[in-house]
Amino acid sequence: MSDAPPVATRALLKRYGDLVAVDQVDLTVDAGDVYGFLGPNGAGKTTTLRMMLGLIRPTSGSVELHGRDPLVEGARALDGVAGFVEGPRFYPYLSGRRNLRLLADLDGDGARSRIDEVLELVDLADRADDRVGGYSHGMRQRLGIAASLLRAPRLLLLDEPATGLDPAGMRDMRALVKRLAGEGITIVLSSHLLAEVEELCNRVAIIRRGRVAYEGPLGELLRSAGGGYRLQASDPERARTLLLNQPGISGLVLEGGELGFQAEPDAVAAATIALGQARIGIRSLVPRTATLEELFLGLTEPEGAGEVAA
């Protein structure tokens, strides 16, 4: 098995006439990652995923999957790779099982023998013989993952798998992704559901206007906006006066009866002692960490306009 990363793109560029859809994108997905791929509408996510799978040709740059370029090695580069872009498609007049049989016959390599296993894994065993045209959106999404799993992939690329699902469907999809990751499958997850990404992913890439705004560990990104604290005190005004004169406290703001400030842990410990000595009660003192949504908006919409989108 190759030691090359499951996905590596280098200086990936895609032009459509004068439009630059993907601009010098470098991404590295390591084995075992659940890798979140984020960006606003039109940022270049789907175009990048299509180039990863060899569905469209880059203008320049390269894509390698486990060290193989799909445009050079063709289908061989997709050994151990599966997934879907912009939603899975099936014959609606055939049953879920029959659709999987057709796909398994194309894949070969014992794929037919895995049909029952993958249907069970995605909780479709009891509806496998129903026509896909009668499936809910969530069921079709799960069938798409089942179809991908027929190939026994080491790398799974999922484009918005939870889009259009109700809360129960989203919960089930998260549980399924966790289960697959627990089995050692590397997953690239393109999603606009930032809470889902925050729960599932260990590394993320955020792109804006075709360029990478951030790539790296999710925890590192969240910590980069940390260091702040929120304090609710019995006497906010006196607490503010005391903290203004306390070493190591900066950025002090009193808003809505709550104090916000920046400080290192040792300075926070000293401040709590000083507040106690001044007989100012501490009702709550919690570290403030930015949410992925706040950081996403900061990286993709610096002026704060607009809303989070796929």
Written as one string, the DSSP assignment of 30-93 is -TT-EEEEE--TTSSHHHHHHHHTTSS--SEEEEEBTTB-HHHHGGGGGTTEEEESSS----TT
Domain residue ranges of the chain, discontinuous segments joined by +: 7-223, 228-288
CB 26 within 8 A of CB 212: yes
Taking only the tens place, the pLDDT of each residue in 81-127 is 998 888 789 999 999 999 999 999 887 778 889 999 999 988 899 99
Does the pLDDT at position 181 exceed 80?
Answer: yes
Taking only the tens place, the pLDDT of each residue in 237-246 is 999 999 999 9
**Higher-scoring residue by pLDDT: 37, 302:** 37
Q: pLDDT > 90: what percent of the chain?
A: 53
Give domain 228-288's CATH architecture.
2-Layer Sandwich (3.30)
pLDDT, mean of residues 162-185: 86
Q: pLDDT > 70: what percent of the chain?
A: 95
What pTM was computed for the model?
Answer: 0.78
**Higher-scoring residue by pLDDT: 36, 164:** 36
Domain 7-223 matches domain 228-288 at the CATH topology level: no
| Residue whose C-alpha is closest to residue 6's, from 26, 24, 33, 46 | 33
Tokens of 158: 């999922």
Q: How far apart are the C-alpha atoms of 155 and 41, rounded to whole Å?
A: 25
Find the range with the poorest average confidence among 48-62, 221-235, 268-282: 221-235
pLDDT, mean of residues 164-176: 83
**Higher-scoring residue by pLDDT: 263, 185:** 185
Per-residue confidence band for 2, with pLDDT thresholds at 50, 70 and 90: low
Taking only the tens place, the pLDDT of each residue in 48-76 is 999 999 899 999 999 999 999 998 888 88
Q: How far apart are the C-alpha atoms of 173 and 165, rounded to whole Å?
A: 9
CB 64 within 8 A of CB 54: no
Per-residue confidence band for 305, with pLDDT thresholds at 50, 70 and 90: very low
Does the pLDDT at position 229 exceed 50?
Answer: yes
- Given this model, what pLDDT does residue 308 score? 38
Taking only the tens place, the pLDDT of each residue in 194-213 is 888 888 999 999 999 999 99
- Given this model, what pLDDT does residue 222 score? 78
Does the pLDDT at position 227 exceed 70?
Answer: no
Give domain 7-223's CATH architecture.
3-Layer(aba) Sandwich (3.40)
- Given this model, what pLDDT does residue 302 score? 55
